[in-house]
Structure 1
Amino acid sequence: MKTATFAQNLLSMQTELRHFAYKLTADRDDADDLLQETSLKALDNQEKYVAETNFKGWIYTIMRNIFINNYRKALRDQTYVDYTDNLHFLNLSVDLADDSMETSYDSKEIRKVVNALPKEFRVPFAMYVAGFKYREIADKLALPLGTVKSRIHFTRRKLREELKDFK
């Protein structure tokens, strides 16, 4: 694909890409940054694009991968390693007791609601939360894919209703 055609295709997708970036980030400034980073990466890697393939899919994949990489980097940056000999920073007494009690209470409340669900809803939901994909859950439980999806959807809706007071 020629440079002019590539750039024109990229420019024509800016509005769609901005919407997708906003869906990923839920923040206008972050979405604009993600859009800019995606556009630059696409232009830098223009020679890797294979003509006659799905241009839109290629760009969306770049954006999604940048978002995931930025998210993982942000998680790594939040991790603190205490290099002091006596673990001074880790042993600081900070008012974490209130937070941990609140978090513990919230977890118990959530578990109580989930455990109150019938087994046919609880098991697929637990597998979904554990990271299984819909297809894997359907295969392991010998259920149709649509049944698994509807049960997980029902469970999520039920949790939303029961736990609406939680933030």
Structure 2
Amino acid sequence: MSNVEFNEMLVNNAEFLRPFAITLTRDNEAAQDLFQETMYRAIANKEKYNVGTNIKAWLYTIMRNIFINNYRRKAKQNTIFDNTPNDFLLNYNQATTANAAEGNLKLKEIQEAVHKLPAIFRNPFLLYFDGFKYHEIADMLGEPLGTIKSRIHFARKLLKAQIQRY
């Protein structure tokens, strides 16, 4: 494809980009800049365009990628670092004590909920909890891999329903 043909095709499809640029940026000035950057990149990379492919989609992709890259760049630039000294927090006496009794009660309730599960779900779940991989559990129990995954998932679901407070 010659340069003239490519440029004509580009100009004929350029007007479809303006509304898309406004949709992305929600600002006329930024949309115009995005449109111009897209056209520049399209012309600069015309050798990457495959003849016969949809030029609108190619241009939309270029514009979207430019917008995303600019957005990420601006997000990094707008990061504010707080370098103020927060020395007052260093001497602030925050004494926290662990409540072992409460923790033991919660653990006891969780263990009871696990042991209340039907054996068909409890056994694969406990093996998985002990660190075995899905395929190892399937081999141990002589069940298909999908069945084991399903039972473990269902056991989690049942436990979540039983222990909603945590």
Q: TM-score, normalised by structure 2?
A: 0.49
Q: TM-score, normalised by structure 1?
A: 0.49
Bigger radius of gyration among the two: 2
